[in-house]
Amino acid sequence: MDITWEPEEVSMVLVHMAATVCPLPGSLETNQPGFPKDILGAKLEGKYLCSHCKNILRRPFQAQCGHRYCSYCLKTIISSGPQKCAACLQEEIYEEGISILEISSAFPDNAARREVESLPAVCPNNGCVWKGTIKDFEGTHEGRCPFMLIQCPSCKSMIKLNDMERHNERECPERKLNCKYCKGAFYFPEIKAHDEICPKFPLTCEGCGRKRIPREKFQDHVKSCGKCKAPCKFYIIGCTEMVENEKSLEHETKYVSEHLGKLLDFICCMKENRELEHQLGYSLVHVPANNSVLNVPDLSEFLKKIETLDQKTVTFENIVCVLNREVERISIMIEAYNRQHRMDQEKIESLSMKVRQLERTIGLKDLVIAEMEQRISDAEVTSYDGIFIWKIADFARKRQEAIAGRCPAMFSPGDLNVAGSEQPRTRNRCLQTRHHVFLFPAADD
């Protein structure tokens, strides 16, 4: 049986076959719409534009109606199902069954793609001089141009790509910085305020000069540092001295009488307040009969005064108790220090005696060593085989002294041929002729 195909039917069959074989291949998929028109370095023709986004086609697909769409645009349009071709409706050429956009009827237009990718292109970013083709632009330059403006995620400013790193590190007013002490992350405006409370921030002790003390450990250092100054413990009763920790005991010992005087004044003041309170209480109890009706404001004022005096009395009593305990503690400490001082003096005296004994022993040892050195020196020039070897040290200098007449003669040490016998000493005389040395027995041999 012969089958005759009309040209339009053949075209439809080919379109359906292409759609069945290549339904939006993954290699052609992209998440971007068409290329911007301003990248084209030549005159733009309408056939290179996407029917949806009106930009230059990117990975073009052709619908069965003949209109071309970017891969991204086509997927966006048909994401909710087949749609009517808007270009056909706009051009008033809509055909039922043909002007429908769907996956099964669209196919990649590779010919149009090759034409588009071969078009000359320039970079649209201000200041960039890049030139090439659209294919090169997409493959090597798009999204990588150092002059491309991108939005800073923190401050929302538009910054060049090559300046973004510097902007994030140095310029962004909303950038995050890590505290170099505690490593916490903070926004730039907050970092200076954080330094005032950072537990790891290094502080310097004004007393001992020690540096780089973490703030969290500074109070412990102040308590233990002997050079740090603190108010005198008797500041409650009027002592205004600021005393170094290591000199606190010395100050308390030195100014015991002053502290006791202030304490006496304090107690006297407290006693006067107590008597005044007594008098006020007595006056309130013994109100005359003719004044049995007391003015309410006056009574309230008296009651307030009594309450105030009671509070002061309780406070003063607590202070006196604290001061009494402090005086007892200081007395115990002074006694302990005195006892320790006596023990230290005794130990120092004992050690001094040991040092003197050691010095005497060392002196005796030095004498023994000197005697031994002398014996060794004499033994070095002693001979028992009849041969006497006299070694003259520093001969050149002694020869010059002999020539100058300062020391014309030298005497040899005693020599023993046989144990217990003494060989005559010899005298060496250097003459000014510089050629002869005379050797002869000394006059006392």
Which pLDDT does position 351 carry in this prediction?
93
Which pLDDT does position 5 carry in this prediction?
40
Average predicted confidence (pLDDT) for the chain: 78
Q: Rounded CA gap, 229 and 335, in Å?
A: 25
Per residue, the 3-state secondary structure of 369-385, as one string, reads HHHHHHHHHHHHCCCCC
Residues of 292-323 as b/e, b for ≥16 C-beta within 10 angstroms?
Answer: eeeeeeeeeeeeeeeeebeeeeeebeebeeeb
Q: Rounded CA gap, 116 and 49, in Å?
A: 10
Which pLDDT does position 332 carry in this prediction?
82
Which pLDDT does position 130 carry in this prediction?
92
Of 273, 294, 274, residue with least CA distance to 285: 294
Given a contact cutoff of 8 angstroms between Cβ atoms, the answer to whether 122 and 39 are in contact is: yes
Going from the C-alpha of 441 to that of each of 364, 409, 424, 438, the distances in angstroms are: 38, 12, 6, 10
- Dihedral of the alpha carbons of 364, 370, 374, 376, in degrees to the nearest 10: 90
Q: Rounded CA gap, 149 and 128, in Å?
A: 12
Which pLDDT does position 418 carry in this prediction?
43
The half-sphere exposure of 133 on its side-chain side, counting CA atoms within 13 A, is 10
Which pLDDT does position 431 carry in this prediction?
40
Going from the C-alpha of 97 to that of each of 24, 66, 94, 104, 109, the distances in angstroms are: 20, 13, 9, 13, 21
319-351 pLDDT per residue, tens: 778 777 878 888 888 888 888 888 889 999 999
pLDDT tens-digit profile, the chain (445 residues)? 333 444 344 334 333 443 333 344 443 456 889 999 888 877 788 888 999 999 999 999 999 999 999 999 999 999 989 999 999 999 999 998 889 999 888 999 999 999 999 999 999 898 899 999 999 998 899 888 999 999 988 888 898 888 888 888 888 888 888 888 888 888 887 888 888 888 889 988 887 888 888 888 888 888 788 778 888 878 777 888 888 877 888 888 888 878 888 788 888 887 777 777 777 665 555 545 444 444 556 667 777 778 888 787 777 777 778 777 878 888 888 888 888 888 889 999 999 999 999 999 999 999 999 888 888 876 766 665 666 666 777 888 888 887 887 777 776 665 444 444 454 544 444 444 455 665 655 554 4
3-state secondary structure of 303: helix
Residue 10 CA from chain centroid, whole number: 78
Q: Rounded CA gap, 219 and 241, in Å?
A: 20
21-67 pLDDT per residue, tens: 334 444 345 688 999 988 887 778 888 899 999 999 999 999 999 99
Long-range contacts of residues 44-51, Cβ cutoff 8 Å, at least 24 apart: 47/112, 48/112, 48/115, 48/116, 48/119, 51/85, 51/86, 51/87
